[in-house]
Amino acid sequence: MTSQLDALKALSLVVADTGDPDAIRRYQPQDATTNPSLLLKAFELPGYQALIDKELAVVRDARSDRQAQVDHAVDRLAVAMGAEITQLVPGRVSTEVAAKLSFDTQASIAKARELVALYEEKGVSRERLLIKLASTWEGIRAAEVLEQEGINCNLTLLFSDAQAQACFDAGVFLVSPFVGRVTDWYKKETGKDYTPEDDPGVNFVRNVCALAGRGGYETVVMGASFRNTGQVLALAGCHRLTISPALLEELAGREGEVECKVSFPPVDERPAPLDEPTFRWDHNQDAMANDKLAEGIRRFADDQRKLETLID
C-alpha cells in the first residue's frame, strides 16, 4: 500500500526543510532549503566538514575588513551547501538573505545579487534558485525588483493576510505562510489545544490559498513550520509543503490515503494593490503577526550571529 508521504506527493509538491544530504536522498523531495539555522546544523554533519574547511580557507585568504570577511564566509557556505543540494533535488534550493537586512530594501537587493553570482560561479543557474527574504515591506519591495530581473524569491516569515496580499501584488514567485508558529501563539494566548481542522495555523494557510485563488495570482503558496503530521495532512493540496525530516519519516512510515484538504477558489475580482500605509496598518492590527514576524527575524539573526562566531 502507498505511504502517506507518497500519497501526499500526489497532491502537493514536497520540499525538504533540511540541508542534510542523507535525509534528502532518503525522502526524495522536489525542492530543499538552507537558512542560518540549517547552516549551524551542517557544522555537526560529517559530510559537510571538507566543504566548510574549503570555503573558509578561500575567505581567509581574501583581503577585507573582518566583518565583511565573516559576512562573505556565511554567504559562501550557504551557496556551497545549496550547490551540493542542487545535485540531490530536481527542483530549486532556497537561500536566505541575512535577517539583519530585513528592513533595508537596497541592501537586500544587493545581497541577493551577490548570492546569485556566487551560485553562477559554481555552475548553478538562477532558474534553480529561490532567494529567501523576510516578508517585511522592505523585503517585499526588494523581491519585486529581483523578480523583474529574473531572480525568483521565497518570501518567508509570513503571518498576516496583509503580508500575503502585498506579496501577491509584487508578483513574487513563492510565499511561505507559517503554520506551527501561528498555532504556538494562539495556544499560548488561549491555553487551548487544537485539532487539525480548527488549527489557527492551518486555517491561516488555507485562507492565503483562498486569497491567491480568488485574485488569480500566479504566486506559489508553500505551507511551512509544521509541528505535527496532522497539520501537514490538513494542508494536502496546498501548492507546496516544506517539511522537516522527522515529519517526513513519520509520513513515509505510515500507509494510507491522503485526502485533498485545500481548495483554490475560482478567480474573482482582484483587490487594489496595498500601499505602504495600508499594509503597515493592516499588519499592525494582527497582534499575532506582529509578534511572530519580529520574533522570527530576531531568531534568524541570532542563528546568523552564532554562525559568524563559529566562522570567526
Report, as residue numbers or ranges, the catalytic residues: 132
The residue assigned the cell 550571529 is 305
Nearest residue to 99 (alpha-carbon basis) of 78, 118, 120: 78
Distance CA 208, CA 236 (A): 14
Long-range contacts of 254-258, Cβ-Cβ distance < 8 Å, separation of 24 or more = 254/3, 254/4, 254/229, 255/1, 255/2, 255/3, 255/4, 256/1, 256/2, 256/4, 256/7, 257/2, 257/7, 258/4, 258/7, 258/8, 258/10, 258/11, 258/233
Burial category of 190 from C-beta neighbours within 10 Å (exposed 0-12, middle 13-18, buried 19 and up): exposed
